[in-house]
Amino acid sequence: MKVCINKFSLMGTNREFFLQPGLNIITGSIFSGKTTLMKCLRGILGSNLQDFSREARNNITNLAGEVLIGNEIYQIIRPFVTTSDAKVSIAGEYENQRLPAMRGKREEQTYGTWLLDKLGLPTLRVLTAPTQAESDTNLLSINDYLMYCYLRQKEIDVNVFGHTDYSKNIKRKYVFEVLYGKYDVEIAQLQEQRVETVLEIRRLKNYTKTIEEFLSGTALENRASIIHNLTNIEHEIELSHLDSENLANEIRQRTNTDELRTNLLEIQQNIDEFRHNLQYEQYSLKQKQGLIAQLQTQSKRLTKSIVASSYLLDFDFLSCPRCGSSINTSRSNIDTCYLCLQHPEPQISQNDLIAEQNRLDRQISETFELVDAHSNAIAEIESSIKQFEDARQMLTDEINHRSRRYVSEQAEEIAQLEQHRVELQEQKKRLEEYLELYTRQDNAISGIEQLESLIEELDTQIDHAQSKVSEFESYIEYLDDIYQIILQEIQVPSFPDPGLSIIDRKTYLPIFEGRRFNEWQDSPGLTTMINTAHALAHQLTCLNFQLPLPNILLIDGLSGNMGYKNEDLERIEAIYNYVIKISQEYRDQLQIIIADNTVPENARQYVFAEFDDNNKLIPL
């Protein structure tokens, strides 16, 4: 997938940089800011913002860039902070978003996952211990995929894409298999489901074992015995209820309170009916009082209109109100206005207003009468309720008096019955809880059987997916060829007895002339050249087969360990010649950004930023 940084600025400073497709070079003396700028460029592509200098922290507020991804251009602003949930602003032709940088709330999209989606890279969880199918899983992040796009200054001469870090190396190998088609997305999802299933089986087995150990060696380990005891207890509880009912009936018969209880029920029904009527009368009273207030307001308005009409309705003009000339009242007849000579519009007369006010007064008077009627009804109802409540209290006291004497005589028997009933209920509850344990154990065993069957199905599906014809080996053979060509082009020095220079099929690390990393790691310069050839080979292979590696490569410290003798300078020039060659050939497909102290003269045309002691990236 094509990735190209077109423009980049460090907000909070006056630094703004314009980059081109193809090759771009940053150069300058040591400690002038080349590596800081490279780290900032990686930051706009999702890398963490750790380990920056104090000067950078104190001056830079945000990273801002114009980034081409595929065929879409995005404006991106990322706060220059280390917090993983800081909001990144993204603006494109068809979208505008603010996403947490690397970590958000559960299931929330982040800038990292947004980049994965835009770059067409799968979101996968992979095993932390690949040889152990039941190990935990980790997410492949955007930084894991871009590992193959960065040759960092601190790694370029000491390891291969950070492979000496155990966790990073596991991710490196997974990314290799994803990019080249060996680690299929379908397989990854099946393996993740298998891991989750195995963990659930383990949990259920531990649960059933705990139940077995809890019940073992006790009277409760016999399920049939528990069911038998529970049935007997339920029967005893029914008998206990019957005993309680019989005792209650005996109390009522011995105390002769049945008639009193019937009377008490009738009184309560009367009280309920009166309370209902009381609510109705209170509601009606409130409505009538509200109506009176409205009618009185209307009456006041009519009074104002009547008074105003007597002063305002019949004016005689002696002169024209417009020009001041005298007016002859005989200029019109009685049906027309002598001022404007028009027929006056019909108007409500003062008598009409008085008649309306009289009608309102009568309605107000009638409503006051209704208010009085409701108030009287409320008083009568409240009096009746009070009488019935007094009667209810007398009956209740009498029933309690008659019952109390007998109940006190039977107190011991009542207490025993209640205690026995409570004990039976507790025993029933306990036995039901034990039976629930057996039910849960049954469900767990059934779940284990279903999950074990699912494991077999998943294993079959994984085997089938892995048996599919893959182009993996043909991709790696092409990668071998390109890797060898680049080693020759950039004039990497040879050993006396050279073997094959290929990619190790187990570790996916480069082998140089038959020698693995530990055999040439003591030469920083040789390591740098092999790493450069290896990284370029991945880019060209993925471009050729349209594999999903992001097509951008950042190399920091290309010639830092190369030396300055004639042969060394020739090798540096050979590296740059080859990089220039492929950057011209793949200009619209691959962007290469190099930070280096020494740049050959023929490569200086590609320099877009140059620093020195008097012109540092972040001035001191």
Residues 6+ apart with CB under 8 A from 375: 285
The encoded tokens of residue 124 equal 């996968």
Asked if the model's pLDDT at residue 559 lies above 70, the reply is: yes
Which pLDDT score, from 0 to 100, does residue 313 have? 45
Query: Rounded to two decimals, what is the model's pTM?
Result: 0.62
Q: What pLDDT, on the 0 to 100 scale, is given for residue 255?
A: 60
Among the listed residues 528, 531, 504, 505, the one whose alpha carbon sits nearest the alpha carbon of residue 515: 504
Q: What is the pLDDT of residue 463?
A: 81
Q: Distance between CA 264 and CA 392 in Å, rounded?
A: 6
Residue 336 CB-half CA count within 13 A: 10
575 pLDDT more than 80: yes
Average pLDDT over residues 138-152: 95
For residue 187, give the amino acid letter: I
Quickly state the pLDDT bin for 251 (edges 50, 70, 90): low
350 is written with which tokens? Answer: 């003062």
Beta strand ranges found along 19-106 (DSSP E): 22-28, 62-69, 72-79, 87-91, 96-100
pLDDT in tens, 264-303: 889 999 999 989 999 999 999 999 888 888 888 888 887 8
Q: pLDDT by residue (tens digit) across 496-519?
A: 999 999 999 999 999 999 999 999
Q: For 166-176, how does the pLDDT look when each residue is reduced to its tens digit (9 = 90+)?
A: 999 999 999 99
pLDDT of 118 over the 70 cut: yes
Mean per-residue pLDDT for 344-364? Answer: 78
**Mean of the per-residue pLDDT values for the chain?**
87
Most confident range, picked from 253-257, 389-393, 459-463? 389-393
The least confident of 141-145, 157-161, 330-334, 613-617 is 330-334
Q: Using 50, 70 and 90 to split pLDDT, how confident is the model at 258? A: confident
| 82: CB partners within 8 A, 6+ apart | 48, 49, 50
- Give the residue from 459, 446, 440, 463 showing the smallest Cα distance to 201: 446
DSSP string across 441-482: HHHHHHHHHHHHHHHHHHHHHHHHHHTS--SHHHHHHHHHHH
* Closest listed residue to residue 149, CA positions, set 167, 131, 165, 162: 162
Can you tell me whether residue 162 is helix, strand or coil? coil
Asked if pLDDT for residue 314 goes beyond 60, the answer is no
- Contact assessment for residue 560 and residue 31, using Cβ atoms and an 8 Å cutoff: no
DSSP code of 493?
A: P
312: pLDDT strictly greater than 50: no
What is the percent of the chain with per-residue pLDDT over 90, rounded to a whole number?
Answer: 52
Is pLDDT above 90 for 148? yes
Residue 559, helix vs strand vs coil = coil
Please name the amino acid found at residue 126: V
The whole-number pLDDT of residue 65 equals 96
Strand positions, DSSP E, 450-598? 502-503, 510-511, 552-556, 591-596
More confident residue, 226 or 578: 578
**Cα 95 to Cα 74, 100, 408, distances in angstroms:** 9, 16, 83
Q: What is the pLDDT of residue 310?
A: 46
Taking 3-state DSSP, the helix, strand and coil percentages for the chain, each rounded to the nearest 5, stand at 60, 15, 30
Instruction: Taking each helix axis as running N to C, give the angle between helix 223-255 and helix 350-409, from 0 to 180 degrees, rounded to the nearest 10.
Output: 100
Most trustworthy range by pLDDT among 41-45, 316-320, 520-524: 41-45
507 by Cβ neighbours in 10 Å (0-12 / 13-18 / 19+) ranks as middle
Q: Which residue has the tokens 């951008």?
A: 552
Residue with the two structure tokens 């700028």: 37
Within 256-349, where are the H helices?
258-312
Q: From start to end of 101-228, where are the E strands? A: 125-127, 137-139, 150-151
| pLDDT, tens digit, 9 for 90 and up, residues 419-444 | 877 888 888 888 888 888 888 888 98
